[in-house]
Amino acid sequence: MKDQPTRVLDPNHPHPFSRFVAILGRGKTKQRHLTLEESRESMAMILRGEAEPEQIGAFLMLLRLKEEAPEEIAGFAIGARDTFNLPTRLPAVDFDWSSYAGKRVQLPWYLLGVMALVGAGYKVFMHGTEGHTPGRVYTRDVLTHLGLPVCDSLQMAADEIEAQGFAYVPLEVLSPSLRELINLRPLLGLRSPVHSFTRMLNPFNAHTVMQGIFHRGFMDIHSGAAQLLGIENAAVFRGDGGEIERRPNKPTPVWTTHGATELHIEEWPATLDDGHAPPDEEMQLARLMKVWRGQDEDEYAREAIVGTMAIALKTHDKAATMDEAQALAGKIWAARDTSKLPVSA
């Protein structure tokens, strides 16, 4: 091991961040959840570079062992937002659409649903990251393949939304430090709370925040955090691969909140009889445009696209019932301009 510079640690003057580690690590009888304000302050300190690497590793893994509380997820999201370089004037956004999981069994059909919504006049802000799990297709790679812009600043994103109704921002643009934290997964061996609260960053204060997760046990945590954050409309469901994509071959419970009001849970029925998603062995991105143009009548793809849009539209209060939302989504999909995508580079 290379010689490391010696740090002088004063037991009489503990590091300011150490109190957060101590709260989480005092043992079964004394440990507790961080409050919302403690969570906000601790995450802001990490992202400003005011915590040591050893503290960050211990902090994240103690949280993982304990499992996050809604107050912590909400506080972390606020603390992260406190460090963002936001434009002076925020654009009006309908949907905040996070994309952090990647797809491995089916192509990312949700992207075509988003494009159809944009073509119908809705404004969508998408953010995400890639590369943390091998063997997956990530949103950024697909957008690049389609020749769509990837924003290098939040100001560029604001301009793109106002001009075209859509923007995608990689996590390292939102926060290089957050990207570094997510990339710790191979080092730590486990996911951390960063994988959860990045889905709730909503930097442009969109009216509706959509969240897809993989582990069903986190539904209550995400919904509780949405209530604490006072998000106008929020939905979380177990999407395909953890992305915001309804699985048409399975019933889909959706947890919805509107501000701090009571949680509402409803189960969207399967729209296909087959209980198993047909794996796409090739994952050829060129098929996305074939489906958009109507040259590939893939039934699974269509049901995934329309079903995902339906959940988004109902959450956004554009339909009173699941049937109405499904019908509206079908009309929007049928009315899309198949000659081109509504967004261009």
The domain spans of the chain are 18-81, 95-334
CATH ID of 95-334, from 1.10.10.10, 3.40.1160.10, 3.40.50.12140, 3.40.1030.10: 3.40.1030.10
Helices and strands (H and E) in the chain: how many:
15, 7
Superfamily of domain covering 18-81: Transferase, Pyrimidine Nucleoside Phosphorylase; Chain C (1.20.970.10)
H helix or E strand, kind and range, residue 238: strand 233-238
Using alpha carbons, select from 188, 196, 171, 238 the residue that is nearest to residue 54.
Answer: 188
What is the spatial order of strands in the sheet that 95-99 belongs to?
166-170, 124-128, 95-99, 208-213, 233-238, 252-257, 264-268
Q: For residue 133, what pLDDT is reported?
A: 65
Q: For residue 6, what pLDDT is reported?
A: 57
Q: For residue 134, what pLDDT is reported?
A: 63
Q: For residue 262, what pLDDT is reported?
A: 86
Q: For residue 216, what pLDDT is reported?
A: 75
> Which residues does 128 contact at the CB level (< 8 Å), separation at least 6?
98, 99, 100, 138, 139, 140, 168, 170, 171
pLDDT tens, residue order, the chain (345 aa): 355 555 656 676 789 999 999 999 987 777 899 999 999 999 999 999 999 999 999 999 999 888 899 999 999 999 999 999 999 999 999 999 999 999 989 999 999 999 999 999 999 999 999 876 667 899 999 999 999 999 999 999 999 999 999 999 999 999 999 999 998 888 888 778 898 999 999 999 999 999 999 877 789 999 999 999 999 999 999 999 899 999 999 999 999 999 998 899 999 999 998 766 678 888 899 999 999 999 999 999 999 999 999 999 999 999 999 999 999 999 999 999 999 999 986
Q: What is the pTM of this model?
A: 0.93
Q: For residue 127, what pLDDT is reported?
A: 97
